[in-house]
Amino acid sequence: MKRKEVLNSYLKLLLFLLPMFAFCACSGSSGIEDVAEEVEENIEDGNSDDHKDDTTDKDRIEGVLYPDELVAQMGKGFDVAWSEFNKYIQNHSEQKVIDIAEAGFTMVRIRVNKPATEDLFSHLDEHINQCLKHGLIPVLAFHGHDAEEGEDMEQAKQVTVDWWRTVAERYKDYSELLVYNLFVELNGNLKKDHQLLNEFYADIIPAIRESNPYRIIIVPPIGLSKPANLQYIQLPDESDPFVMMEWHCYAAGPALEGNKQWTTGTREERQLVLDHFQSAAEYMEQTGRSTWFGAWMAGNYNKGNEYDIPAQVQFATFFVRELAKIGVPWCVNTDDKYYDYLNLKWYPEGEYGGIPVRDVILDTEKVALYSGEGYQGESLRLSPGEYDQAELQAMDFDNKISSLMVPWGFKVIAYTGKGFAGTAHEYTRTTRSFSSELENTISSLKIIDLETYD
């Protein structure tokens, strides 16, 4: 609505209410005119509702990617160490990138801890280009623990600023889908000092902006990236629309006791997760800033892993569903716990994650059927519903099911006969093999969403 039309609308309304303001006639000026002047001033100041409605779209630069648009594309991804550890650098294969993308992942967080030299760029260029080629959004994350743990923080800051200035100049002409994540996770003196961290950001972000004015930058808070600490971040330019926030919890997975306790997924254990998610949701609501979840694990892999595959599927089901509710994309930590980088294939199961965990984090609302024991062989994903023999035959899975992944809160009833007849077995947990009389004899299925965890 144009400015003049807005003013006329207000005047018509006031004229309609004139009888209610008869007292104004006794004054030296018209009450209507006074209000009209105030309305005009508000319009001049940009305070009308009509102005607020289109500010965001009108102020955007055409053809430039904004954080909320990036969030809509990021989806689900992996933290990867391809450019972090020599064993992964030396054994990297483009096939790994292809397999991750073809499985359904849409993003990788490339962690880097090496100096910004040609030695780094010789393989980092390749990794970024392969991701963009195969449809994976590359998030470049700096792992600067050596600098952060030193005593001279001015020197540490300069090292970090110089690293990002060099990297930003290198990739300034790359696709806007290449994103800069300033820190993987804060360590040393930066871990607890939000004022010091803000001083780092005050120098790093302008250094990047010298060559990348519109590149999306992602920054984490202190305290191991806890979302409750997002409120302490202060940007050098709060009006910069191309900055979003990273946060995470359970980066090393759940634990059997403590503040990350997860045993059977009790209400109390679920609430421990939800408290973190609520903090992030409140921050996004209050600030309008987009956020991204940088790392989580389905088991405590770094401590030997005390969670079997069914337990990991249970935790992952809840975790991914709740992240979806608040609209936050994420990366799971890390690809080598799921993918055999030496033999270029997914681990069906092992000491860490496995194919069933991968499958549930990709889609928490479908059961996965596997033709072989131990989640091997061909696979098929099915939504809740009834599947008779004819339907399973059409999908080439009649009498072919040997193991299955069941998302938490789902129930599968498997029948040995068509028409849901014969011997029936119920499953509410992921199962690596069936009893001998049931293996490869399932002719019909019912998949039920119980819509509860209790």
| 188-226 pLDDT per residue, tens | 889 999 999 999 999 999 999 999 999 999 999 999 999
**How big is the CA angle at 92 (ends 89 and 95), to the nearest 5 degrees?**
165
| Matching fold, domains 67-364 and 369-449 | no
- Rounded to whole angstroms, how far apart are CA atoms 28 and 9? 25
The SS3 assignment for 317 reads: helix
The residues pairing with 346 across neighbouring beta strands, listed in sequence order, are 339
**Nearest CA to 399 among 386, 411, 390?**
390
Closest to 181 measured CA to CA, from 216, 218, 211: 218
Name the amino acid, one letter, at 410. Answer: F
Contacts of 338 (CB under 8 A, 6+ apart): 78, 346, 347, 352, 353, 354, 355, 357, 358
Q: How many CB atoms lie within 10 A of CB 49?
A: 9
- Report the pLDDT value the prediction gives residue 38, as an integer from 0 to 100: 38
Q: Looking at residue 352, what is its pLDDT?
A: 92
- Mean pLDDT in residue range 419-443: 88
- Three-state secondary-structure class, residue 139: strand
Q: Residues 176-188: what's their mean pLDDT?
A: 96
Question: What integer pLDDT is reported at residue 437 of this predicted model?
Answer: 61
Find out if CATH 2.60.20.10 is the number for domain 369-449.
yes
Could you tell me the CA-to-CA distances from 318 to 71, 80, 241, 311, 364 in Å, in that order?
21, 23, 32, 11, 8
Of 60, 91, 66, 105, the C-alpha closest to 359 is: 105
- φ, ψ dihedrals at 369, nearest 5°: -105, 140
CATH of segment(s) 67-364: 3.20.20.80
Quote the pLDDT of residue 439: 64
Q: Where are the domains of the chain?
A: 3-54, 67-364, 369-449
Name, in order, each residue with C-beta under 8 angstroms of 103's C-beta and a sequence gap of 6 or more: 346, 358, 362
Residue 56 pLDDT: 63
Q: Residue 367 is inside which H or E element, if any?
A: strand 367-370
Chain centroid to CA 396: 34
